[in-house]
Structure 1
Amino acid sequence: MVGKNIKVIPILTALLLSAFIGMFSETALNVALTQLMQDLSVTPATIQWLTTGYLLVLGILVPVSGLLLQRFTTRQLFVAALSFLISGTLIAALASVFEVLLIGRVVQAMGTALLIPLMFNTILVVIPPERRGAAMGLIGLIIMSAPAVGPTISGLIVQNLTWNWIFWISLPFLVFALLFGLVYMQNISETSRPKFDVLSILLSTIGFGGIVFGFSSAGEGAGEHGGGWESPRVIVAIVVGVIALVLFSWRQLKMEKPVINLRVFKYPMFTLGLLMVFIAMMIILSSMLLMPMYLQRGLLLTTFATGLIMLPGGIINGGMSLLTGRLFDKYGPKWLVIFGLIIAAVTLWFFSGITTASSIFMIIALHSFLMIGISMVMMPAQTNGLNQLPPEYYPDGTAIMNTLQQVAGAIGTALAVSLLTTRQAAYMQANPGDVTDTDYVAQAMTVGVSGAFKMAAGMAIIGLIVALFIKRVNVSRGKGEAQSDQLPH
């Protein structure tokens, strides 16, 4: 570690503040997509590129973050991340046409792709294993608070100002975070000069980029003529992505100093934790897509009302992250994850029974319970898995964990949208009606959303089965390596 007098609180403050504003500007835009289609005169398939492009950049850059974490100092990466976030936010704030806004989003994503792995790696370096649960819980509070307040504030902005103000409001906070970091950010780890293996980076880019692009395109094109899973570009992107990832993995295992060290998968609790996080991300991101669609097109509520209804669950999730972090430090992950998945599965099953007459109170209650369940899964599973890795594998572990979260988001949302449109079309075919009738379209949308929630409930049940095999990692270190209860001491 570089420097003996590490000031943990200022370092984490700079990282968490930056992450909060970055996540806010990312999620706040989601509820403004309908308004953006009108203002920028683009189709739904085109506007989705604001999300797809963002995910695509993360899927390409996050895998190489492990290499960057080893090559560059903490301060260098922090300044680079904030510079990209500020530049992207400014471009988006000034945008008056779709192409400029998309460029702004891509530059923002470059900043996020550097910042999130840096934040997790810093936690692993500066916080001792026995206290990481509380620290990870703090990350959960920050990361989940932004999506909670984002839709509400965005709804207010869109109703009273223009969507550009979503970015104008974020800009001064990002500038402050950069200045704060320039004063207090310290270099907390040693750097080395790992080789940039061009072929590995190319295979990683094609692999993760192809899979994220393929699944995202399938979700966008679902229900459109020639779109969805039957689209040649979707099939080609996913097949090429899988082949590239197989070649990438084979190359990493053969290299003496790989870009991403896949030997992290020999640690069973890391692998199980990664699987839990993958399933939780599929559930949460598909649900965050389905909820606004149901509230706005099924219950015919406004954007601002949608944000208000989703606000309590997001706030509860943030608060629960702090609590589950402390409970994890005391009791370990197993029962937290198991009960969390039980709560999520039951809640999602109730969600699958929603109608156009469901009460707002019931929706708020179900959403809140879902957020409680997911918060009991995400941070405990993630922290327990990373705890088992030796310090030299931290950059690789955080890179893999964060990359697969982006892949999970793309897959989860694609499956949710596909099921939604399939069920919606089946309902309209079985019950022909006037597509200009608002109530008829709302009923069809609700039927589609309920089917997608059943899929999410199935994911939670699969996660519950896997969770039965989780064991607490013993954080006492012998030769610099955490041990699992199931491994020899």
Structure 2
Amino acid sequence: MESTMQGTSGIGQKQIKALPILVSLLLSGFIGMFSETALNVALSDLMQLLHITPATAQWLTTGYLLTLGILVPVSGLLLQWFTTRQLFITSLAFSILGTLLAALSPTFAFLLTARVVQAIGTGLLLPLMFNTILVIIPAEKRGAAMGMIGLVIMVAPAIGPTAAGLLIENLSWHWIFWLALPILIIALICGILFMQNVTSITKPKIDALSILLSSVGFGGIVFGFSSAGESEGWSSPKVIISIIVGAVALILFGIRQMKMKQPMINLRAFRFPMFSLGVLMIVLCMMVILSSMLILPMYLIKGQGYSAFKAGLILLPGGVINGIMSPIMGRLFDKYGPKWLVIPGLIIVSITLWFFSSISEASTVAFVIAMHSTLMIGVSMIFMPAQTNGINQLPRELYPDGTAIMNTLQQVAGAIGTALAVSIMAAGQKSYMSNVTNPEDPAHFLPAFTNGVQGAFIFGMIVAIVGLIMSFFIKRVVVSHKK
């Protein structure tokens, strides 16, 4: 069935020009991921230039994540209401507008608004990118295509901090966005020229209550965990109320979706065991990746005293290696299936995080580069194989729902993982300080901080071990979709 799918405009699968479509999507995705992480390096500069506190500055990241958490769940519905071209051009328009506003931003409020506009573009683009590839690429070649997405998703965040550090040292933080703008415009032109409509428009009924419950649910969870991880702490009423309200809304959302004939997100996708397992693996993997990407730069800058640019350079090899490995792992997945990649990958990640848990002020740059690179190789063996295998089990009509579920839970897992890692790090510092005679002595700061970092890596190792236990149940999906 898959080789003869018809698009909305009657374009047969053989007439679809996959390469130009892929180039347009990957260019856009690269810049979306680049600008998301590049700004993190500039936060300390922004605090001084815009006269804002760290808690206020973190809203540039929290606001971005919050917008994604609210918008991405609705994407499954949007994919069934609008054509591929309409969604692609709209997502690029928001990304370009947000990037231009960010480049011109004179104040914090202006920059925060620009970040939200950018996030709308990314929130539309990510599910569209995954869904389009599922439709235009045959299942037996899908691993390699998803590997290319992995290259984009992993290399962009790796290059982001290094490029941003270089730009900040020589120009200003505005140039992070000026650099991204022309590439987004090129991607838009490519999309206008080459993007084809590859999905069927079914226009399911829009249920306002489902959208409200989804927005409150995912938004509340992301906001609550992000606030706890930044500055509020777990005992803050704002954090507790946000998480409780979010959880209740999600439960009500789930109950409503299961009762509806045309749900906003079809949770029946979870009836497919390999999809459910794939989602769990992605959630655990994102928690490990994003918590490590947050803790390592903090350790290099605060613990070792490196500049943002040098810290970015130290982490660059691991990100580039991960990007190179992603397409290779995609091809190996097509040939051998997920089990012989995911299980060794989780073993590598668990062992590497165990080594990282002994990190100290005496750890060398070579040790950090070697361990980070090994960690990224392990991640490349888990992420795309688990994701592709899970999606492959779904029938074609559940592709929009499957991609919406996976992309949404990635954002939620990222928020939860970073919040828990930061909280564990803070608790480790506090525990160390409670056992010293003079907590005010500056000599204790570095050992206390290191103790906290080690605890955060132990948390990552435990998450990876849980994933390893689950991975023994993964099986290769034999694709024989019937609509």
**TM-score under structure 2 normalisation?**
0.97
Question: Is 1:285 matched with 2:264?
Answer: no
Counterpart residue number, 1:165: 175
Partner of residue 63 from structure 1, selected from 48, 73, 81: 73
Question: Is 1:186 matched with 2:186?
Answer: no
- Conserved in 1, the CA contact under 8 Å of 2:165 and 2:308? yes
Q: Deviations over 1:44-81 (max 9, x none)?
A: 11111111101100000000100000000000000110
Counterpart residue number, 2:461: 457
Counterpart residue number, 1:105: 115
Partner of residue 403 from structure 1, selected from 408, 416, 422: 408
Task: Give the count of matched residue pairs.
Answer: 473
Question: Is 1:275 matched with 2:298?
Answer: no
- Alignment partners' CA distance in 2, 1:436 and 1:297: 17
**One-letter amino acid matched to 1:352:** S
CA root-mean-square deviation = 1.0
SS at match of 1:469: coil
SS at match of 1:194: coil
Question: Is 1:241 matched with 2:246?
Answer: yes
Counterpart residue number, 2:21: 11
Alignment of 1:314-463 (within 5 A): 314-433=319-438, 437=442, 440-463=444-467
Question: Which consecutive aligned stretches of 4+ in structure 1 deviate over 3 angstroms post-superposition?
Answer: 432-437
- Alignment partners' CA distance in 2, 1:213 and 1:434: 32
Counterpart residue number, 2:3: none
- Alignment partners' CA distance in 2, 1:132 and 1:88: 32
188-197 vs 124-133, which moves further: 188-197
Counterpart residue number, 1:128: 138
User: CA 1:355/1:249 → structure 2, altered by over 3 Å: closer, same or farther?
Assistant: same
- Conserved in 1, the CA contact under 8 Å of 2:433 and 2:439? no
- Conserved in 1, the CA contact under 8 Å of 2:333 and 2:341? yes
Question: Is 1:39 matched with 2:19?
Answer: no
- Alignment partners' CA distance in 2, 1:34 and 1:446: 21
| Cα offset, 1:434, TM superposition | 6.8
| Cα offset, 1:444, TM superposition | 1.9
**One-letter amino acid matched to 2:473:** F
**One-letter amino acid matched to 1:254:** K
| Cα offset, 1:350, TM superposition | 0.5
| Cα offset, 1:435, TM superposition | 5.1
- Conserved in 1, the CA contact under 8 Å of 2:158 and 2:316? yes
16-25 vs 395-404, which moves further: 16-25
- Alignment partners' CA distance in 1, 2:410 and 2:439: 40
Q: Deviations over 1:97-137 (max 9, x none)?
A: 11111001100000000000000000100001111000000
Partner of residue 166 from structure 2, selected from 156, 161, 173: 156
| Cα offset, 1:429, TM superposition | 2.3
Partner of residue 470 from structure 1, selected from 462, 467, 474: 474
- Conserved in 2, the CA contact under 8 Å of 1:292 and 1:306? yes
SS at match of 2:234: helix
Counterpart residue number, 1:72: 82
**TM-score under structure 1 normalisation?**
0.95
SS at match of 1:275: helix
Question: Is 1:212 matched with 2:249?
Answer: no
Q: Deviations over 1:23-56 (max 9, x none)?
A: 1111111111111111111111111111110110
Counterpart residue number, 1:485: none
- Alignment partners' CA distance in 1, 2:222 and 2:413: 9
- Alignment partners' CA distance in 2, 1:356 and 1:440: 12
- Alignment partners' CA distance in 1, 2:47 and 2:91: 29
